[in-house]
Amino acid sequence: GAGVSQSPSNKVTEKGKDVELRCDPISGHTALYWYRQRLGQGLEFLIYFQGNSAPDKSGLPSDRFSAERTGESVSTLTIQRTQQEDSAVYLCASSLAAERSDTQYFGPGTRLTVL
Amino acid sequence: KNEVEQSPQNLTAQEGEFITINCSYSVGISALHWLQQHPGGGIVSLFMLSSGKKKHGRLIATINIQEKHSSLHITASHPRDSAVYICAVPLLASGSRLTFGEGTQLTVNP
C-alpha cells in the first residue's frame, strides 16, 4: 500500500514569507508526527496528533509554527514569517496508534530553504 | 548530556567487515527504534525492539533494558549499507514521540 507522502519535496522561500507543508499519512494510521532535521544535526520532535485528542505541541520552537490535522488524514505544518534558521528537512511520520511500541513510518520529507 | 547517545559518530569499514553501532539512553523506555537514513534523506524503520534480539537479513539488533543499551550489528557489510543509522526512543515521560540519537554515519568501502 501507499506509504506516507509529503509535499512539496523541496521549497525555497524568502525570509519573512509564510510556508505550508503537507503530510498524507498511511490510511488508517491514527497517530501523526512532525519532526525537523537541520543540516548536520539530529532529528527533533515538533508536534504529534493522536486521533481526536489535543495535539502534543511541546516541540514547536516558536509561535510562528503551527500544525493542523483534519480528522485522521492530512496534516499541514505552517511556518509564518520564515527565518533562515527554519531551513531544514521537515519529516512527517505516522503510526497505527500512539502506543510507544508502534512502528513509525516516515515520509520522504520536505526540504525547506529560507533565503 | 543527551538522553540518547550513539557511538561512534562516524564509522568507515571495508566491504565484508562486521559492523557494530551502539546506543545508550539515560531514562526509562518501553521500546527502542533503529532507523536508517539514506543519503537522499529518506528514513526507513529497521527495528523496533523492547527486549532481547531481532534479526533481519544481515542486520541484528540487541537491547539490554537493565543496562539501558542497544547495539545494531551488520554482518558482511556492503557499500549499499552506507547510510546514517539512528537510534530513537519514546521516553516514558513524553508519550510516543521519539527522541533521537545524533546518528552514526557509516561508510562501507568496496
Render pLDDT for B63-87 as a digit per residue (tens, 0 to 9): 998 899 999 999 999 999 999 999 9
pLDDT band at residue B56, thresholds of 50, 70 and 90? very high
Of the candidates A41, A48, A106, the beta carbon closest to that of B97 is on: A48
Please give the torsion angle defined by the CA atoms of residues A88, B82, B5 and A98, in that order, rounded to the nearest 10 degrees: 60
Query: Is the pLDDT score of B9 beyond 90?
Result: yes
Our CA angle for B71, B74, B76, nearest 5°, is 155
Query: Is the pLDDT score of B62 beyond 80?
Result: yes
Distance between B29 CA and the closest CA of chain A, angstroms: 9
Of the candidates B45, B96, B101, the beta carbon closest to that of A42 is on: B101
Q: Residue A67 pairs with which residues in a beta bridge?
A: A77
Residue A63 one-letter amino acid:
D
Interface residues on A facing B, Cβ-Cβ cutoff 8 A: 31, 33, 35, 37, 41-45, 48, 50, 56, 58-59, 89, 91, 93, 95, 98-106, 108-109, 111
Distance between B16 CA and the closest CA of chain A, angstroms: 28
State the pLDDT at residue A19.
98
Mean pLDDT of chain B: 90
pLDDT digits (tens, 9 = 90+) for A80-99: 999 999 999 999 999 887 66
Of the candidates B41, B44, B97, the beta carbon closest to that of A33 is on: B97
Residue numbers of chain A with a pLDDT score lower than 50: none
- Residue B35 C-alpha cell reads as 532507523
Residue numbers in B near A3 (CB within 8 A): none
Q: Choose the weakest-confidence range: B46-50, B74-78, B85-89, B102-106.
A: B46-50
State the pLDDT at residue A98.
62
Residue numbers in B near A8 (CB within 8 A): none
Rounded to 5 degrees, what are φ and ψ at A57?
Answer: -100, 15
Contact A33 B43 (CB under 8 A): no
Q: Choose the weakest-confidence range: B7-16, B25-34, B100-109.
A: B25-34
State the pLDDT at residue B95.
67
By C-alpha distance, which of A3, A6, A22 is closest to A79?
A22
Give the residue ranges of DSSP H helices in A66-112: none
State the pLDDT at residue B90.
83
State the pLDDT at residue B59.
97
By C-alpha distance, which of A61, A54, A102 is closest to A82?
A61
Residue numbers in A near B45 (CB within 8 A): 103-106
SS3 of residue B93 by DSSP: helix
State the pLDDT at residue A72.
80
Give Cα A17 distance to the centre of its chain: 18
State the pLDDT at residue B1.
60
d(CA A77, CA A18): 11
